[in-house]
Amino acid sequence: MKVEPIGIIHTPFKHKKSAPAHSSKSRATGRIEVFKKYENGLCDIDGFSHIILIFRFHRSKGYRLKLKPYLDNKHRGLFTTRAPRRPNQLGLSTVKLLKRRGNILTVKGVDMLDGTPLLDIKPYIPDVDPKRGVRIGWLEEKK
């Protein structure tokens, strides 16, 4: 399987310690630079208030199948967390789209490091994305 970036995410976060844990916790703005050859794919995107960014944790190395998430002091299965150290190093964040100028998107709610490779963009659609009867496993006790 070959996956190529479609752009670069520019954020104010140069180091992992300065980045928020999740996009919902972030008020930071960033710029999404979509490569020119993909610019036509942005047609009509400015009609959406929020978009989902799929990206690569480009500075993440290795992984463990059990780890202590930042919200807990117990070891948990990797796939029950959003930790960046993963077998395929994929991340996703939902951000607010503020504006589009050509191939540049300005967004709010970035939580990734500056220079992060962008793999895909999807629109956030409230009628499609929310689910009923959601359980959140071990995170229930953290609420």
pLDDT tens string for the chain (143 positions)? 899 999 999 999 987 776 766 656 668 899 999 999 999 999 999 999 999 999 999 988 899 999 998 778 899 999 998 888 999 999 999 999 999 999 999 999 999 999 999 999 999 998 887 777 888 888 888 76
Q: Could you give all domains of the chain from N- to C-terminal order, each with its CATH number?
A: 7-142 (2.40.30.70)
- For residue 33, give Cα distances in angstroms to 42, 97, 122: 11, 13, 15
Is residue 45 within 8 A of residue 96, CB to CB? The reply is: no
Nearest to 118 by CA among 35, 29, 55: 55
pTM: 0.87
Tell me the CA distances in angstroms from 46 to 25, 68, 74, one per residue in order: 23, 39, 42
Name residue 96's beta-bridge partners: 50, 108
Cα–Cα distance measured from residue 18 to residue 113, given in angstroms and rounded to the nearest whole number: 9
Contacting residues for 6 by C-beta, under 8 A, at least 6 apart: 34, 35, 38, 41, 118, 119, 120, 121
